[in-house]
């Protein structure tokens, strides 16, 4: 009898977006004339920039000619892209990363999920609350999370670190020992960032405890404040304790293209083994490289033209986020994020829960948001809005919310 992975049976249903879709559809059916505006989505809406489009057309043409056909590529990605990353994402910020510390993949989600392959089952995981569900679910599948406690909405063997307005969205350094810590800055879903001192505290903890930090920097390109680190490797000592995940999804609109990368420094050694070498072995065994065409497209964002173009798109999303934040603040709401992130994290009015506020916004303002409680218990009392919409719809949504609350 083939034995299944019993950990899958412990996973609770992922009801958040399904439940939002259900409530939205029910409302729309009852109110066919209502014009709903979606501000809950995390997907991009602006087209890929011309430099990327052009590079992909060229790459497609190369694949149509024997002399320029690219077959199997390097498991770890093409050097043309790794060199661009090394120079522009790291060296330009004073961080020295070697080419073979960079692994190109089909996206940060795959890497965040698959990285568990190189770790033992016996590790204590720490995550922020609220949290991007992939960190938790992938560890639960691998048997590191313990049992799911429905009442607590939490896994018994995961250490949760609440990040709320009360603690300035800083996950407290734990007084227990943890082995693997997931940090995300700029944060999904809260839109807040960790500053240099906060990251240094975590790097020190990880080095002192031989722990490993999984640093998700998928939204780094949205950082506008000068003193906020874009990479954990800007912090001294991080190379011996951190893995960094990056994405082209929001940076360059690649959500449907699939490309990201992971940096694992050679200095990151645990139990005598180089995690860089382990990941190379994992990738060469269970992955066959990212698509050549997509890697060519990604490399185009590092040209001066490409860089200018993607910055324009990012400014557009950030301006949407600013419009939302300003509008909600004028209603007297407490609002976080938006400054270094496309995400706006808004405290619900006193005494109103996440789902209740979601419902009111849906029914009274016809605006769709995401209830913070869906990202974890400490997300209760917040809703998430995003800057990924169109400008007129974003402005209209803000006006409606202001009318509703006035």
Q: What distance lies between CA 162 and its chain's CA centroid?
A: 18
# binding residues, a copy of itself (CB under 8 A): 77
DSSP 272: T
3-class SS of residue 177 = coil
Among 28, 46, 207, 359, binds a copy of itself (CB under 8 A): 46
Q: Which of residues 137-196 bind a copy of itself (CB under 8 A)?
A: 137-138, 141, 179-180
Residue 92 in the binding site for a copy of itself (CB under 8 A): no
**Interface region with a copy of itself, contact rule CB under 8 A, candidates 43-51, 79-87, 156-164, 192-200:** 43-51
What's the number of CA atoms in the CB half-sphere (13 Å) around residue 224?
Answer: 17
Site string for a copy of itself, 376-395 (x = CB under 8 A): --------------------
The whole-angstrom separation of Cα 77 and Cα 59 is: 15
Residue 106 in the binding site for a copy of itself (CB under 8 A): yes
- Cβ-based neighbour number of residue 172 at 10 Å: 10
Give the nearest distance from C-beta 112 to a copy of itself in angstroms.
Answer: 8
Copy the structure tokens of residue 312.
């324009």
**Interface region with a copy of itself, contact rule CB under 8 A, candidates 42-50, 225-233, 299-307, 366-374:** 42-50
CB within 8 A of 167, min separation 6: which ones? none
Residue 406 in the binding site for a copy of itself (CB under 8 A): no
**Interface region with a copy of itself, contact rule CB under 8 A, candidates 207-215, 226-234, 299-307, 373-381:** 207-215
Among 239, 258, 325, 384, binds a copy of itself (CB under 8 A): 258
CA-CA-CA-CA torsion for 66, 69, 71, 75, nearest 10 degrees? 160
Residue 198 in the binding site for a copy of itself (CB under 8 A): no
Residue 263 in the binding site for a copy of itself (CB under 8 A): no
- Pairing state between β 242-247 and 212-216: parallel
Q: Please, what's the b/e burial string for 154-164 (b: 16 or more CB within 10 A of its CB; e: otherwise)? A: bbeebbbbbbb
The whole-angstrom separation of Cα 361 and Cα 355 is: 10
The whole-angstrom separation of Cα 322 and Cα 279 is: 39
3-class SS of residue 157 = coil
Using the minimum distance from each CB to a copy of itself, give the nearer residue, 57 or 403.
57
Angle separating helix axes 50-63 and 304-330, nearest 10 degrees: 140
Q: Which of residues 266-325 bind a copy of itself (CB under 8 A)?
A: 270-271, 273, 275, 278, 281-282, 284-294
Residue 240 in the binding site for a copy of itself (CB under 8 A): no
Residue 212 in the binding site for a copy of itself (CB under 8 A): yes
Using the minimum distance from each CB to a copy of itself, give the nearer residue, 139 or 348.
139
Using the minimum distance from each CB to a copy of itself, give the nearer residue, 278 or 333.
278
């Amino acid at each position: 009898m083939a034995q299944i992975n019993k950990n899958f049976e412990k996973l609770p249903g992922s009801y958040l977006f399904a439940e939002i879709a259900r409530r939205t559809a029910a409302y729309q059916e009852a109110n066919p004339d209502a014009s709903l505006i979606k501000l809950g989505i995390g997907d991009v809406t602006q087209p890929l920039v011309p430099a990327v489009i052009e590079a992909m057309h060229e790459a497609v043409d190369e694949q149509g000619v024997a002399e320029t056909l690219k077959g199997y590529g390097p498991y770890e990605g093409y050097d043309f892209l790794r060199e661009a990353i090394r120079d522009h994402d790291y060296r330009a910020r004073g961080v020295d990363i070697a080419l073979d510390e960079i692994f190109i993949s089909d996206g940060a989600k795959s890497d965040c999920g698959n990285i568990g392959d190189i770790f033992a089952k016996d590790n204590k995981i720490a995550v922020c609350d609220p949290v991007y569900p992939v960190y938790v679910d992938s560890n639960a599948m691998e048997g590191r999370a313990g049992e799911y406690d429905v009442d607590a909405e939490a896994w018994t063997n995961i250490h949760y670190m609440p990040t709320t307005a009360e603690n300035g969205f800083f996950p407290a350094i734990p007084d227990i020992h943890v082995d693997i810590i997931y940090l995300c800055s700029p944060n999904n879903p809260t839109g807040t960032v960790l500053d240099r001192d906060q990251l240094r505290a975590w790097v020190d903890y990880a080095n002192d405890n031989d722990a490993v930090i999984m640093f998700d920097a998928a939204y780094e390109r949205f950082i506008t404040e000068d003193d906020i680190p874009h990479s954990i490797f800007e912090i001294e000592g991080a190379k011996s304790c951190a893995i960094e995940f990056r994405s082209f999804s929001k940076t360059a609109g690649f959500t449907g293209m699939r490309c990201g990368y992971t940096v694992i420094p050679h200095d990151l050694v645990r139990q005598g083994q180089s995690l860089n070498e382990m990941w190379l072995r994992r990738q060469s065994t269970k992955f066959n490289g990212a698509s050549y065409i997509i890697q060519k497209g990604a490399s185009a964002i590092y040209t001066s033209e490409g860089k200018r173009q993607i910055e324009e798109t990012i400014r557009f999303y950030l301006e949407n986020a600013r419009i939302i934040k300003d509008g909600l603040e004028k209603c007297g709401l407490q609002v976080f994020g938006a400054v270094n992130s496309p995400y706006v994290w808004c405290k619900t009015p006193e005494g109103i829960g996440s789902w209740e506020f979601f419902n009111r916004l849906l029914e009274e303002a016809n605006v769709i948001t995401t209830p913070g409680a869906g990202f974890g218990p400490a997300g209760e009392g917040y809703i998430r809005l995003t800057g990924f919409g169109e400008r007129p719809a974003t402005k209209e949504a803000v006006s409606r919310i202001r009318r509703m609350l006035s």
